[in-house]
A and B are shown apart, each in its own frame.
Chain A
Amino acid sequence: MQNSSESKITSYQLLCILTGTAIGIGLMDLPNQVTEIAKQNGWVSVIIGGIYPLYIVYIADILQNKFPDENILQLSRKFLGKVFGNLLNLLFMFNFILYTTTVASGLTILLSTFIMYFMSPIKLLVFIVSLGAISSYSGLRPLANINELIFVFTIVVALIPLVALGRGKLLNVLPLFDSSVESLFKASVESCFSYGGIEIIFLFYPLVSDREKFKSYMLKGVLFLIILYSSLTFLTIYYCGIDLIKKSFWSILIATKSIEIPIINNFRFIFMFLWSIVNFKTISNSYFASVFILKDMFKKLSIKKLSVILFPFIVLMSSNYINEEARRTFLKFIVPKYTLFNIVFLTVICLIGLLKKDGLNEEK
């Protein structure tokens, strides 16, 4: 039996983990966020927002080249001292806990509204978080494999709204580029939540077995994300028009509702079914990342025990924002701050790493 924390994963699996953690519930209301500011050019803002993941991958590549065997947690302790480093690691962990809780609560709200109106949301939340806990209990290797499999799934799910191409009106996307550049940039900040989660590669890059493909696969992953998000936003605007997007909470679902298959009454449930599986994986990834960081700090406890211990905390935190408005307000408040923290933290580590590149042998 291989020890899960020592197992190796391939670059392709890391690509799947990267896209897997980023593609979550944030995708559903991405058009809402961007069209509010950038109107019908929202999809351009999404492309601009892709600068953030590209930057993150660039930093990851530098760090991976210089310190191939130490992940970000060990590096931050090394460069910034044990206490301060641990503190920053803790903040980094809260990042992932944020993702776990918001995706879990977002999925609960989505499912409660559309399919599971018969069950109280708390129970559904407990169930969904328990799935994340069970996945993290099994360790990294099964998680990486499941990400690989569900990546294919995600591509299928993402292709579904393409049907809206036939029924939309090009009119909805015109006039092109009449929004000011400032509004485009402001709107691209809103897309940060959807791109969030890719910081997970900083935890796992030491475990990658084929290093030479690291950069190309990560870039491919980010490119995939950017193309996926912008095309979905474009399709939603194309089909619904910005007025309708304003009215509904989950605008991408309206685009999928346009599909009419002869036998099936309502395409909604197939989409929900596939989308639930995709989101289970997202929640598991973020959950495992949090547990991973915790284990790094409390070395005596195993991943299995930590998964179980973390479970009630995540449930409690998620249950705070189980209604959609509270959740969105909270996200609007905290996401820009956290994105800033991530960028600063990672840039600082990277810069210190670059500066120390000559003195690598001294650091022991």
Chain B
Amino acid sequence: MKKNKFLIIIPLLVIIFSFFITGIKNSDIVENMEIVAGLGSDVEYKTPGSVSYSIPLSTYIFRGISGDDENVKVSSTVRKGVGKTLGQTRENRQSKADKKTILGFEKVYIVSESSAAYGLEPIVDILFKNPQLNDTGYFAICRGKAEDMLSHKVEGYPSSSDFIEGLLKNEFNYSFFPKNIKITDLYTSLYVEGTNPVVPYIETNGDNIEVSGMALFKNGKMVAKSNFDDSKWLNLMRDNKVCGIVSLQKDSRNYADLYANSFRKVNVDKIHGKLHFTINLKLKGSVITNTYFKDISKNESAKRAFEEKIGEKVHRNCCSVINKMKTEYKTDCLGLGKYAAAKYGRWSNVDWDKEVLDSSIDVNVKVSIENWGRGSFEKNSREQ
């Protein structure tokens, strides 16, 4: 009886084992797969109506230095796949590559300007459907071709994607740049009622890669780009808890800089059937440098005058950006629509973009200085 039991169990186990272990597809050991550092998206217009997609991937290459077993040099190369649909680009790319690619480590997603103008929907759809995708990768639009951006050599990094990741990750420290520029944030703002995505815009400048503004979208297509200065005020009005520098300048020698943290609150009302938005901004900051105003740290009224002047400057700049939004960009890039949707009902077939562009937008700015630094090197009045 015991002997029979084992005669049955062991072959059964072997059969079960082989049943499960055979037929495994789509997977290989990690060192045999191509690791993707950055994903790009380009379109080429074949005829005015149709495009062919091109997806370049920046992948790591491990090259052992001869004679030295310990160190392996890591560098990168760009593999491009071209096709009529995004799925076909995968096929095309595999025919030129020696390993299968795995997604999941991408640090950045770079979409070229022409591709963004053509429409984000195909790219975001294929990325969203793929469950392996890295949801914490940064999303940016680039000038020119994404392929060039990805193959741009940056010193000290195996791939330019690493550099761009650091670039976008740390940009929030200044220029009122938003922190939510990952691809998850794109999912929550694309085709969502009341908002349009606003994405960082990067370009190469000689040897450097730099952020040069924000790309503005409407209905999933890129319609405008705001330059660096305008983006500052745009971001200030769009996001909460961002920081940046506001300066008052008389001439090249006399100016004051304030590093401010912003708090934003939006109120929405209906006046005569039209929407009315009030953006309340509160800036709290520390004075970085001051060679313009005298005695603001000692004199209460001077301090208040300074704060008011800064408030006026911010107000002026914001209003000009709002004007630009209504006349030039023609899209709701401040994210005001969702406040209206929150108050007046969702999924009600109202075109919030149009409503926001027709609405009146007020900006109230309050500034307060919290920190003066170590001391002040300004000239004393006596020494004049």
CB of B134 within 8 A of chain A?
A: yes
Question: A243 contacts the other chain (Cβ, under 8 Å)?
Answer: yes
Closest to A167 in B: B180
Bound CA span A247–B20, Å? 33
Among A118, A178, A260, the residue within 8 A (CB) of B136 is A260
Complex Cα distance, B182 from A254, in Å, reads: 14
Chain B interfacial residues counted at CB < 8 A: 29
Q: A123-B20, A266-B134 are in contact. Are A247 and B25 (CB under 8 A)?
A: no
User: What's the least CB distance linking B135 to chain A, in Å?
Assistant: 5
CB atoms of A247 and B344 under 8 A apart: no
Known: A113-B131, A120-B23, A257-B135. A175 touches B344 (CB 8 A): yes
| Interface hits, B160-195 → A, CB 8 Å | 184, 187-188, 191-193
Q: How far does the Cβ of A45 sit from chain B's closest Cβ, in whole Å?
A: 16
CB distance from A134 to the nearest CB of B (A): 13
Q: Would you list which residues of chain A between 9 and 66 have a CB under 8 Å from chain B?
A: 39-40
In the complex, the answer to whether B345 meets A257 with C-beta atoms within 8 Å is no
Alpha-carbon separation in the docked complex, A172 to B136 (Å)? 22
Task: State whether B191 touches A243 (Cβ < 8 A).
Answer: yes
How many whole Å from A215's CB to the nearest CB in chain B? Answer: 41
Cβ A39 vs Cβ B187 within 8 A: no
Q: Which residues of B contact A242 (CB under 8 A)?
A: 346-347
Q: Assess whether B342 is interfacial by the CB under 8 Å rule.
A: yes
A258 within 8 Å of B (CB atoms): yes
In the complex, what's the smallest C-beta–C-beta distance from A265 to chain B, in angstroms? 7
Q: Which of B93-145 contact A (CB under 8 A)?
A: 104-105, 128, 131-132, 134-136
Q: Are A119 and B24 in contact (CB under 8 A)?
A: yes
Contacts of B20 in A (CB 8 A): 119, 123, 127
Determine which of A113, A120, A123, A174 lies in contact with B342 in the assembled complex, contact meaning CB atoms within 8 Å. A174
B contact residues around A241 at 8 Å (CB): 188, 192
Q: Distance in Å from the Cβ of A165 to the closest Cβ of chain B?
A: 16
B188 to A123, Cβ gap below 8 A?
A: no
Main secondary structure of the interface of B (DSSP, over half): loop
Give bound CA distance, A257 to B137, whole Å: 13
Across-interface contacts of A298 in B (CB, < 8 A) = none
Q: B346–A240 contact, CB under 8 A?
A: no
**Interface residue ranges of B35-75 to A (CB < 8 Å):** none
Partner of B184, one of A39, A123, A257, A265: A257
For the complex formed, measure the closest distance between the CB of A258 and the CB atoms of chain B, giving whole angstroms: 7
Beta-carbon contact of A244 and B346 below 8 Å: no
B: residues with CB less than 8 A from A are 19-20, 23-27, 104-105, 128, 131-132, 134-136, 184, 187-188, 191-193, 338-339, 342-347
With A117-B26, A118-B26, A127-B20 already in contact, 17 other A-B pairs whose C-beta atoms are closer than 8 Å = A39-B347, A114-B131, A117-B131, A118-B25, A119-B20, A119-B24, A123-B23, A171-B339, A175-B342, A175-B343, A175-B345, A242-B347, A243-B191, A243-B192, A248-B128, A265-B104, A265-B134
